[in-house]
Amino acid sequence: MDVTRRDFVKATAIAAALAAAGGSLATLSGCAQGGQSAQTTTGESQIHTAVCRFCGCGCGVLVETRDGKVVSVTGDPDNQSNRGLNCIKGYYLGKILYGPDRLTKPLIRDDAGTKGTGSGLREAEWEEALDLVASKLKETWKADKSRLAFWGSGQQPITEGYLTAKFWKAGLLSNNIDPNARMCMASAVVGFMNVFQTDEPAGCYEDLDNADVFITWGANMAEAHPMLYSRLTAHKLSGDNVRHYDLTACKTRTSASADKVLIFKPGTDLAIANAIANYLIQNDKYDHQFVADHLQFKTGSENIGNAYEDGYDQSEQGSTVDATTPCSFEEYAERLSEYTMEYASELSGVSVEDLTELAGLFADPDLRIMSLWTMGVNQHNRGTWMNHNIHNLHLISGKYGKPGSTAFSLTGQPSACGTAREVGTFSHRLPADLLVANEDHRRFTEAIWDLPEGYLDAIAKPGFHTIKLFREMSNGNIDFLWSAHNNWAQSLPNLTRFLGMDGEHEGIYNTFIAVNEVYPTVTTDYADVVFPVAMWVEREGQFGNAERRTSVFEKAVDPPGDAKWDVWVLMQVARRVLEGETINGEDAFTHLFGFIWDAQADGFIGDDREINRAIWEEYRIFSNPQLKESAAAINEEKKLKMEAKQLAPYDEYLTQHGLCWPVREVDGKWMSTKWRFANGDQAEGFDEVGIAQYGTQGLAGDVSWYKSTDQKPSVVFRPYEPPAEEPDEEFPFWFCTGRLLEHWHTGSMTREVEELNRALPEALLYMNGEDAAGLGLADGDMARVTSRHGTFDIKVSTSGRVDPPAGLVFAPFFARETMVNLAVHDYYCPLSKETDYKKTCVAITKA
Ligand SMILES: Nc1nc2c(c(=O)[nH]1)N[C@H]1C(S)=C(S)[C@@H](COP(=O)(O)OP(=O)(O)OC[C@H]3O[C@@H](n4cnc5c(=O)[nH]c(N)nc54)[C@H](O)[C@@H]3O)O[C@H]1N2
Ligand SMILES: Nc1nc2c(c(=O)[nH]1)N[C@H]1C(S)=C(S)[C@@H](COP(=O)(O)OP(=O)(O)OC[C@H]3O[C@@H](n4cnc5c(=O)[nH]c(N)nc54)[C@H](O)[C@@H]3O)O[C@H]1N2
Ligand code: SF4
Ligand SMILES: [Mo]
């Protein structure tokens, strides 16, 4: 929907102010191609509402188009997540569409021997490329369903993820589908499931405006969540003694705003959180009322080892890691008691004084504390446990579900929360938090998808999680792989193995690989077929951000050349693969997708808006919590009578510029929920409609947290256990990897934007000055970084943009010429199966 010119001028003014502070305002006059500069065109401009396709902040933006081109992008003042703010990547968003290397024709590799060489792909027509991929998929599917897979993404729009899951799970009856969010949010998800029995981030961005204390637990918000970071610093600067403690393995730009920077040894955050919890209990400073009214306590499996071996998940140790046992508060306290300040200080290197100061904050009942975390906590060999330990602290101190007091898990990708977690693109999930292993959930899903009862029993067992999938591929056990919205050949860990560069695991050369992409990447270098697709606002879609806000981005321009919408590609392949198959006596493809695709005309039944709306309305049926509970009710009433309660009708997201689920209809108006797991009266002084007044199983209007002990949030005792690798003589440095502001992940999009590329042209190894000097390395020297898993060369910097303590080095992973993941190990958290990109041990020499 178009917004008025006045709105746009307002947005531009706000954006200009913010950009001025950052030193730049991107006008996209250079965007237009084909000799048409935006400055010389005379056509009327149009404004479209959209949402940024980069980070999980999920900033709303307004996209200005003229003569079929995007000419500017500014913050959307009416999107309540960012209220007009943006960061530098936001301002240059329009330019990502027009990079010089944009893919516009399907590509086919005739000789698998050319994989990884940077050549060997030829241009082809759609028909040939689609027929080839569909025939390979069908062949594999008919021969052995365990040998095919789809790897998706938290950058896939919601309706696209939903449809992919439906094709893979109901169409192919395969659970071999997993997203890159496995490498990103899985630990947070398992944490939420264990604590709240549902995967629902609790707080919202307004907490940033209300907290007295911010604690970043290894989150580099200044580089990775810039809009939220500016909201944090704005609140801090507003006075009133707002404090920020940056707990981190290395100093980053986020440390700049901190009153205290507490550097801890990697992995010892587990002990720090436990020491604070222990302090609260020992000093009788926990919230007695909150503990008695709302919480249950548990212990879990311990000494769970590390997922080194391919067979770990099936081993006795690996298969029992999820087990928990109820315990009393006293037992929990007893287990915590070894975590004295002295013990935590000895492990972490943070002084007893500083740890006690931190504990004192949680002990003060009047302080509102907001904990924020991202990959430092999730990409952790005990990532799920560390999520628990933060929740535990906030729960026993009663600092939960109150505006300004919350444990806030930041999401990384634009739709990590919205797509990957919501619509069932994980190997163990069905849409809306449902699980393949749960019989009732399968019945419920069958009812919505109109499948015969028992149909989905064929997929009752979870498929391959990401690392299992790529280990199997490298072992030669995957014949067909399709990926979209990711660049796995650069972003996966342990690439020396997965790309067959160890001379041992060369399965990748025997796997038929199809990739949907917008630019050439390392992954397309290994592809047998590349489908060129529409990017961002070249079609309509939706993202769900870190505060559960779903926003729609409208189609603003057409894709270039022969590029097509990912959904079009999916439907074309699905139609070919499902040909001759039936469900309930009807053509299987039409049965599953007839609501958006006309088989006779072989095309969509409507425009982008209509297709998205139709998919959304089907997905929305899954979100009725009442119906989730009882399979019997579902089968009796059947889907036509199901009335979705937690998501709004599609068009509401357009008119309201995004809504946070659970969405409720109050007096005919669809309302966002700001705080989850909150008791109504804790929210006094705040907009009443912003508070979710119900627990997991309850409905809107239920004012208690949870109905029964079973449904109360769980505090689970999780001990400190050491990282998978620790520095030794041979590999004496911690190697931490991550992000910097200007680039997005593997750089495939941001390096196509001249201004961003110029601002940060190369990936550097950030070192402590003394470490560098000790190795005879000066700034600009090439270093060789070697781990037990692989090696790469990189230029050294002691500039301090990331300023590590002695013994730790940091590098970003955006540069394909500097493949840091060749050396990063692939050991994962045994509960979430998320890998630890933060703690590989390496040796460094002059190259
Ligand atoms: N500019 C930009 N922004 C992005 C992205 C991007 O590619 N570019 N990607 C987005 C995505 S998908 C994600 S997931 C986020 C990631 O956002 P972040 O997690 O904030 O960023 P990273 O650079 O991955 O992680 C660096 C942090 O890891 C911490 N760390 C290292 N070891 C440990 C440890 O043992 N324990 C703890 N607790 N912390 C540790 C460090 O202290 C440091 O603060 O960024 C999002 N935003
Ligand atoms: N060393 C190291 N590695 C990491 C991490 C780390 O901290 N350290 N973090 C991990 C994390 S948290 C994440 S989330 C992953 C991210 O890893 P990936 O998701 O694999 O990396 P991206 O570069 O985001 O890849 C997205 C791709 O989608 C393409 N694309 C853009 N628009 C579209 C579209 O509309 N359709 C399709 N089909 N494609 C499109 C882009 O060109 C881009 O190449 O990286 C992981 N890898
Ligand atoms: S990259 Fe993140 S902070 Fe920057 S504009 Fe996009 S969503 Fe907002
Ligand atoms: Mo991520």
Residues with a beta carbon under 5 angstroms from ion ligand 4: 184, 412
Q: Is 473 a catalytic residue?
A: no
Of the listed ligands, the closest to the CA of 834 is: 2
Distance CA 545, CA 57 (A): 6
Q: What is the distance in A from the centroid of ligand 1 to the CA of 252?
A: 10
| Ligand 2 atom 36, closest CA | 485
The preferred substitution site among 180, 555, 810 for testing ligand 2, maximizing ligand atoms within 8 Å of CB, is: 180
Confidence tier at 675 by pLDDT (50, 70, 90): confident
Q: Is 180 in the pocket of ligand 1 (CB under 6 A)?
A: no
End-to-end Cα, the chain, rounded Å: 55
Q: Is 740 in the pocket of ligand 3 (CB under 6 A)?
A: no
Q: Is 1 a catalytic residue?
A: no
| Candidates 31, 183, 185, 227; catalytic one | 185
Domains of the chain with CATH codes? 5-98 (3.30.200.210), 107-175+417-545+549-621 (3.40.50.740), 199-412 (3.40.228.10), 733-824 (2.40.40.20)
Q: What is the distance in A from the centroid of ligand 2 to the CA of 255?
A: 26
| Ligand 3 atom 4, closest CA | 87
Tell me which of 507 and 670 has the higher pLDDT: 507
**What's the pLDDT at 24?**
32
User: Prior bond to 662 cis, omega within 30?
Assistant: yes
- Token pair belonging to 22: 């950052």
Give 575-634 pLDDT, tens digit per residue.
999 999 999 999 999 999 999 999 899 999 999 999 999 999 889 888 765 554 444 455
Q: Is 638 a catalytic residue?
A: no
- Tokens 């209220």 correspond to what residue? 83
Q: Is 227 in the pocket of ligand 3 (CB under 6 A)?
A: yes
**How many CB atoms within 10 Å of residue 288?**
12
The preferred substitution site among 61, 74, 86 for testing ligand 3, maximizing ligand atoms within 8 Å of CB, is: 86
Q: Is 821 in the pocket of ligand 2 (CB under 6 A)?
A: yes
Q: Is 735 in the pocket of ligand 2 (CB under 6 A)?
A: no
| Ligand 1 atom 47, closest CA | 224
| Candidates 75, 161, 191, 412; catalytic one | 412
Return the ligand 3 atom nearest residue 226 CA. Answer: 3
Give 435-492 pLDDT, tens digit per residue.
999 888 898 899 889 999 999 999 999 999 999 999 999 999 999 999 999 999 999 9
Q: Where are the beta strands (DSSP E) in 774-819?
A: 782-787, 791-797, 808-812
Distance CA 20, CA 476 (A): 53
The preferred substitution site among 155, 466, 833 for testing ligand 2, maximizing ligand atoms within 8 Å of CB, is: 155
**What's the pLDDT at 645?**
54
Q: What is the distance in A from the centroid of ligand 3 to the CA of 86?
A: 6
| Ligand 1 atom 8, closest CA | 744
**707 phi, psi to nearest 5 deg:** -80, -40
Distance CA 178, CA 427 (A): 5
Q: Where are the alpha helices (DSSP H) in 81-218?
A: 88-91, 126-143, 158-166, 186-196, 207-210
**What's the pLDDT at 406?**
92
Give 505-561 pLDDT, tens digit per residue.
999 999 999 999 999 999 999 999 999 999 999 999 999 999 999 999 999 999 999
The preferred substitution site among 379, 491, 839 for testing ligand 2, maximizing ligand atoms within 8 Å of CB, is: 491
| Candidates 31, 57, 183, 184; catalytic one | 184
Percent of the chain with pLDDT over 70: 88
Among 457-466, 620-629, 652-661, 767-776, the range scoring the smallest mean pLDDT is 620-629
Q: Is 517 in the pocket of ligand 2 (CB under 6 A)?
A: yes
Distance CA 395, CA 715 (A): 7
Helices 608-620 and 158-166 cross at an angle (nearest 10°) of 70
Give 277-319 pLDDT, tens digit per residue.
999 999 999 999 889 888 899 999 999 998 778 889 999 899 9
Confidence tier at 689 by pLDDT (50, 70, 90): very low
**What's the pLDDT at 636?**
52
Q: Is 184 a catalytic residue?
A: yes
Q: Is 774 a catalytic residue?
A: no
**What's the pLDDT at 177?**
98
| Candidates 204, 227, 370, 375; catalytic one | 375
Specify the 3-state DSSP secondary structure of 718: coil
Confidence tier at 674 by pLDDT (50, 70, 90): confident
Confidence tier at 401 by pLDDT (50, 70, 90): confident
Handedness of CA 57, 62, 68, 70 (dihedral sign): negative
Confidence tier at 249 by pLDDT (50, 70, 90): very high
pTM: 0.93
Q: What is the distance in A from the centroid of ligand 2 to the CA of 821?
A: 13
Q: Is 840 in the pocket of ligand 2 (CB under 6 A)?
A: no
* Contact between 224 and 696 (Cβ < 8 Å): no
- Mean pLDDT in residue range 217-235: 96
Q: Is 413 a catalytic residue?
A: yes
| Candidates 89, 95, 169, 236; catalytic one | 89
- Mean pLDDT in residue range 419-434: 90
Q: What is the mean pLDDT of the chain?
A: 89
Distance CA 565, CA 94 (A): 18
* Per-residue pLDDT at 692 exceeds 50: no
* Per-residue pLDDT at 387 exceeds 80: yes
Could you list the residues known to form a binding site for [4Fe-4S] cluster, using ranges. Answer: 52, 55, 59, 87
- Token pair belonging to 572: 């074309």
Q: What is the distance in A from the centroid of ligand 1 to the CA of 747?
A: 16
Give 31-65 pLDDT, tens digit per residue.
333 333 333 346 799 999 999 999 999 999 999 99
130-142 per-residue burial string, b: 16 or more CB within 10 A, e: under 16: bebbbebbbebbe
* Per-residue pLDDT at 710 exceeds 90: no
Q: What is the 3-state secondary structure (H, E, C) of 54-95?
A: CCCCCCEEEEEEECCEEEEEEECCCCCCCCCCCCHHHHCHHH
* Per-residue pLDDT at 348 exceeds 80: yes
Could you list the residues known to form a binding site, using ranges. Answer: 52, 55, 59, 87, 89, 155, 180, 184, 267-269, 375, 379, 487, 566, 813, 821, 838
- DSSP annotation of 102: -
Q: What is the distance in A from the centroid of ligand 2 to the CA of 663?
A: 29
